[in-house]
Amino acid sequence: MRLVLLGAPGAGKGTQAKMLIDKYGIPQISTGDILRKAVADGTPLGKEAKVIMDKGELVTDEIVIGLVKERLGQDDCKKGYILDGFPRTTPQAEALDAELAAINTPLTDALSVDVPMDDLMKRLTGRRTCKSCQQMYNVHFSAPAKDGVCDKCSGELMQRGDDTEDTIKNRLDVYEKSTAPLIDYYNGKGILKSVEGTGNIDDIFNKVCSILG
């Protein structure tokens, strides 16, 4: 399976991707995670990306297309992959299609995770991630037993730098303008599927699995 996950920030793409990794044994490729690692490592790319990410804007197509091409060339992607947070613009989607057409391995599915705009702000402001094991929580819906501490590994929970109210508003605007049109793009290619992303995480995952087959 070569899958693209579509959906607004906070729709739960990352959560579903992590569950799909276990079921299908294929890697998740999250451009957000790759960029956050570059920021944490203080690389030149990370320094450039941080300024853009803190504002909730998009890193240039050229940079992310380069990152994804390199990642897709690695051995663990031969069995398939889950793209999470890429593509985010039509030029990115076209570049991906061209790259995959050249090696005769087109995308098999694009799954849109649909969540009403009103719910997204609460999901994003409440989001917390464990620094050690990356387990995700939400202080409004799935709080850890002890404030700021991971239930699984007792690691420290952190809030993403771009999960602040002002940045979130911009990220949602950018999504509507630049990324939402990809739903029509993949519909036109005949590979679009969609799932309602509200409710219990396991129930959503079961729906995702039956949609993907």
Strands 2-6 and 28-30, bridge-based pairing: unpaired
Q: Does 59 bind ligand AMP (CB under 6 A)?
A: yes
Q: Which of 7, 56, 144, 197 binds ligand AMP (CB under 6 A)?
A: 56
User: Could you tell me the strand order of the sheet in which 192-196 lies?
Assistant: 28-30, 81-84, 2-6, 109-114, 192-196
Active site residue 2: no
Distance of CA 158 to the CA centre of its chain: 18
Distance separating alpha carbons of residues 48 and 10, to the nearest angstrom? 24
197 binding ligand AMP? (CB under 6 A): no
Alpha helix ranges (H) inside 44-161: 44-55, 61-72, 90-102, 117-125
- CB of 175 closer than 8 Å to CB of 6: no
First to last CA, the chain: 10
Closer Cβ to ligand AMP, 91 or 155, answer by number: 91
Give the nearest distance from C-beta 213 to ligand AMP in angstroms. Answer: 26
Residue 9 lies near ligand AMP (rule: CB under 6 A): yes
| Nearest distance from C-beta of residue 202 to ligand AMP, angstroms | 23
Give the nearest residue (CB) to ligand AMP. Answer: 32
**Does residue 7 bind ligand AMP (CB under 6 A)?**
no
Binding interface with ligand AMP (CB under 6 A): 9, 31-32, 35, 52-53, 56-59, 64, 85-88, 92, 162, 171
Active site residues: 13, 88, 127, 160, 171
